Amino acid sequence: MSPRVLLLELFQAAVAAAQPALRIPPFLPPPPRGRTIVVGAGKAAAHMAAALEAAWRGSLQGVVVTRYGHAVPCRHIRVLEAAHPIPDQNSLAAAREMRRQVSGLTKDDLVIALISGGGSALLAEPVPGISLEDKQQVTQAMFRAGATIRELNRVRQALSLIKGGGLAAAAYPAQVLTLAISDVPGDDPAFIASGPTVPPPEADMTPADIIANLGVRLPAHVEKALARHVSRSPQDFSHCHTELIATPMQSLLAAAEKARAFGVTPLILSDCIEAEAREAALVHAGIVQSVRRHGLPMAPPVVILSGGECKVTIGDAGAGRGGRNTEFLLALGLALREEKNIHAIACDTDGIDGSEDNAGALWLPDSLERARQAGIDPAQHLAKHDSYSAFAALGDLVMTGPTQTNVNDFRAMLIQ
């Protein structure tokens, strides 16, 4: 098996381990005495709804929202589509419909919330005094400033009626079972889709402090809304229960098992790496060089695996095309230009790297030489945040389309 095919097999194993059809059935309770209402949001929400319908042995109804192009047909659960990563009018309509679905329930009813990454943008119902346009502006400004997912979601919660436990409050006193696919480093349910059905996170920094530290300038009325934000922590969450049905580490372990089956030793660095994509690439490159030159922390053949969510800070200069995975991979390749027999892959497990149409890309030992022959300057593409164009010209983009799940980024570096 070629190294290229091996890396693609590892990525596919990681994605397969987090499929809703596999992960949902073991966590389903018996039907309640009352009604079963299904709500959900995220890139995997439609596939989670279809898997739930196939496994459920009672009546149910409800609505979920997913990203445009990620919908699948369901019999009893209505599937809506909205924009990601910047919310649109359909995001607002979906949030309002979801709160309507869970209103007026009793303690004999059950709400099953299907939550996956991407749900924050797909559910957008601002607090009074804040418009959808305000939320769009905040999201765009924080992206450009290089905010982490925790920072972004803390601010989203402060400006939302439905996030940070707001949907759970609307469902009270019905029992709420949240089935979540984690796409956040650390797997804290409060940050998966901004936690619409779980208690808000512990406040290490206020939303206003986060904005100030990022150096983001917002309209005065938005800053005032953040300053007067009050946590929903006093709310009663005793009617809520959460299960993490798929996590990044489970997918990395599945990829590691596949590697062993092919006779390659796996080394899992971490499932929760958060850093600038370029900086993370330099650290990974250093570990690759240690393996190549010193056989430490283990000798080749070895495949180094990692997950988490890197970020790309664009600033005011603008950018070309590309997401955090292709940016990571291009920076990694440039850092390893003197190394031989290194193959690497970096992909988003949802099949979409940033806002492009690719999951990620591959770096091969001859990538730099092929780039030179094609008149491509990888360093210049990296400087312009234009990694997609570089890999497209090389023919090394990984194209999967929506994968039905989302357990964050997947990186593998094969050292022969």
pLDDT in tens, the chain (416 residues): 899 999 999 999 999 999 999 999 999 999 999 999 999 999 999 999 999 999 999 999 999 999 999 999 999 999 999 999 999 999 999 999 999 999 999 999 999 999 999 999 999 999 999 999 999 999 999 988 888 888 998 999 999 999 999 999 999 999 999 999 999 999 999 999 999 999 988 777 889 999 999 999 999 999 988 887 755 445 789 999 999 999 999 999 999 999 999 999 999 999 999 999 999 999 999 999 999 999 999 999 999 999 999 999 887 656 789 999 999 999 999 999 878 889 999 999 999 998 899 999 999 999 999 999 999 999 999 999 999 999 999 999 999 999 999 999 999 999 99
Domains of the chain, residue spans: 3-13+249-415, 19-246
Q: What pLDDT sits at residue 233? A: 47
Q: Please report the pLDDT score of residue 230 as a whole number.
A: 58
What local confidence, expressed as pLDDT, does residue 317 receive? 57
Place of tokens 């053949």: 301
Rounded to 10°, the helix 277-294/324-335 angle is: 40
Distance, CA of 376 to CA of 389 (rounded, Å): 10
pLDDT attached to residue 62: 98
Predicted TM-score (pTM) of this structure = 0.93
In sequence order, the β-bridge partners of residue 411 are 306, 346
In the CATH hierarchy, which top-level class contains the domain 3-13+249-415? alpha beta
Q: What is the pLDDT of residue 379?
A: 96
Of 1.10.10.10, 3.40.50.10180, 3.40.440.10, 3.40.50.720, which CATH number belongs to 19-246? Answer: 3.40.50.10180
Q: Are 177 and 111 in contact (CB under 8 A)?
A: yes
Angle (deg, nearest 10), helices 132-144 and 220-227: 90
Q: What is the pLDDT of residue 235?
A: 76
What long-range pairs does 77-86 form, CB within 8 A, spacing at least 24?
77/38, 77/49, 77/52, 77/53, 79/45, 79/46, 79/49, 82/121, 82/122, 83/121, 83/122, 84/43, 84/118, 84/121, 84/122, 85/118, 85/121, 85/139, 85/143, 85/355, 86/121, 86/136, 86/139, 86/140
Would you state the structure tokens that stand for residue 132, as one six-digit string? 């959808």
Answer whether 95's CB lies under 8 Å from 23's CB.
no
d(CA 160, CA 222): 12
**Residue 169 and residue 185: Cα distance in Å, rounded?**
26
| Euclidean distance between the first and the last CA atom of the chain, given in angstroms as a whole number | 13
